Amino acid sequence: MNDTSKDDSYEVAKCGKWINERNLNKVCLQFPDNLLPDSVEIALRLENCINKKVYILGDTSYGSCCVDEIAAQHINADSIIHFGHACLNPTTRLPVFHVLPKQEIDISELISKFKLNFVDQTEKILFFYDIAYAHKIEKIYKILNAVYKNLIFTSLNCISNVEFTDVKDDASTIILGRCFKLDKESKIEDYIAFFLGNGGNTFTRLAMTISAKKWYYFENNSVVEYEILNTPWLKRRRFVVEKLKDARVVGIVVATLGIKDYLKIITMVKNIIKEKKKKSYILSVGKINPTKLANFPEIDAFVVITCPENEIFDSREFLKPLLMPYEVELAFNSSRECYTQYCMDFRQILPGGVNYVDFKPSTDSDVSLITGELRNCDENIPCTDKMNALAINNSSDVVAIGKAGAEFLYNRSWKGVEQRLGKDAVHSAEIGRCGLPSCYENEPIFREDNNE
């Protein structure tokens, strides 16, 4: 890639214009891993353009699609320029400029297949698109808008290098970074939804969250209808909801510190779990992996507060089930009906969101579909919020109760290194092992090598 093409693809001139218009001084550049090899060169060109120093974020706190405000605050940055694919979740601390990727597409082929599949020109259609095609949307809009009377093109919830897709009405509904305003007296269920892009992670999140009449996506130059009811993913999610109902101890894992209203959803989930007389812990472990969460064996299920596009919910490597905030309401809120649509954007189940309903705890006893045991039959047992009780076991050891971690440790067969004070004979200290763990100096193999 030559110098001119790099400037065009990374929009160095537009980045410089955005910085100068806002008189920004400490700008951080955030690249995904696949673009990091170009990061130094782009940073130097941008510095020459604005005559100011810029900073490169070498690693992200949680995911490359999310704007990493936490890392930028390490140098007291006043703005961030985000390159590559983005989830477009709203942030609160810093202004952000998105340099969206650009992917080519045959517009004439798209228009032809679109007209072939949607013959009725009065059909109500919502047009979504992958952000990589944002630079082509203006041309597509001008062609289709002249043909279809009830076609609504969505816009992106960001400030980016593609100004056409950034234009939005203040009264727009914002879901998963997409903005749209429906016609008066129309509901989302009245519309067919079309997504320009493949049936990957971004599309499935949109299709699960937005309850359109039908969903279609464009892949390999053909329009494909998406069947939500036939997805194995949905069956798996119903299983983990049952596991959450059986759980006695729930961990709330905070996997974002930048998405707007993340503190509100943590409080909401914590209150629901407390209402159901279950114990909860709030954990922050950075980027989540099975090894980190395996350090908490006393926890029966984890509720993860994270970016909607995080693929962690598709993984089968974790020892305990991982759930999203919406599934906590499916499990414990009797006002929330279990249906095929899933609200992946946790902000939408908060007060004021499009999927918000009042919480009404489910109190009727039912039978677990996994263990066959009766649930909701011990609602009168108080939930202990603090470790304020002590008990003496048979060996006269004082054990704290009321916390799940202490109870789990007390009941576990192996509890780690024990002091055994006064139980072993006193003897002089001895010299321990020396060398590397792979081969200590007192091992036979090491001695044989030295003798040779």
Q: What percent of the chain has pLDDT over 90?
A: 43
Output the DSSP codes for 368-388: -TTT--EES--TTSPPP-S--
Higher pLDDT, residue 437 or 251? 251
For the segment 101-108, the average pLDDT, to the nearest whole number, is 93
Q: Is the pTM of this model over 0.85?
A: no
Higher pLDDT, residue 388 or 229? 229
Q: Measured between alpha carbons, how far is 191 from 213 in angstroms, rounded to an integer?
A: 6
Q: Is residue 440 predicted with pLDDT exceeding 70?
A: yes
Q: What percent of the chain has pLDDT over 70?
A: 86
Higher pLDDT, residue 197 or 394? 197
Give residue 102's pLDDT: 92
- β-strands 155-156, 178-180: how paired? antiparallel
396 pLDDT tier (thresholds 50, 70, 90): very low
Output the DSSP codes for 252-282: EEE--SSSTTHHHHHHHHHHHHHHTT-EEEE
- Type of residue numbered 290: P
In this structure, of 229-233, 276-280, 447-451, the range with the lowest mean pLDDT score is 447-451
Q: Is residue 1 predicted with pLDDT exceeding 70?
A: no
Q: Is residue 83 predicted with pLDDT exceeding 60?
A: yes
CATH superfamily of 232-360: Diphthamide synthesis DPH1/DPH2 domain 3 (3.40.50.11860)
Higher pLDDT, residue 6 or 130? 130
CA 143 to chain CA centroid, Å, is 35
451 pLDDT tier (thresholds 50, 70, 90): low
Do 12-99 and 107-226 have matching folds? yes
Which residues, including other chains, have CB under 8 Å from residue 112's CB and lie 6 or more apart?
A: none
Give residue 400's pLDDT: 46
Which of these CATH numbers, 3.30.300.30, 3.40.50.970, 2.70.150.10, 3.40.50.11840, describes 12-99?
3.40.50.11840
Instruction: Tell me which fold the domain 107-226 belongs to.
Output: Rossmann fold (3.40.50)
For the segment 140-161, the average pLDDT, to the nearest whole number, is 93
Q: Is residue 384 predicted with pLDDT exceeding 60?
A: no
Give residue 8's pLDDT: 72
Q: Is residue 5 predicted with pLDDT exceeding 80?
A: no
Which residues, including other chains, have CB under 8 Å from residue 161's CB and lie 6 or more apart?
A: 11, 14, 15, 97, 98, 99, 100
Per-domain residue ranges of the chain: 12-99, 107-226, 232-360, 377-411
Strand partners of residue 1? none
Give residue 60's pLDDT: 76
Structure-block tokens of residue 100: 């969206």
Give residue 7's pLDDT: 56
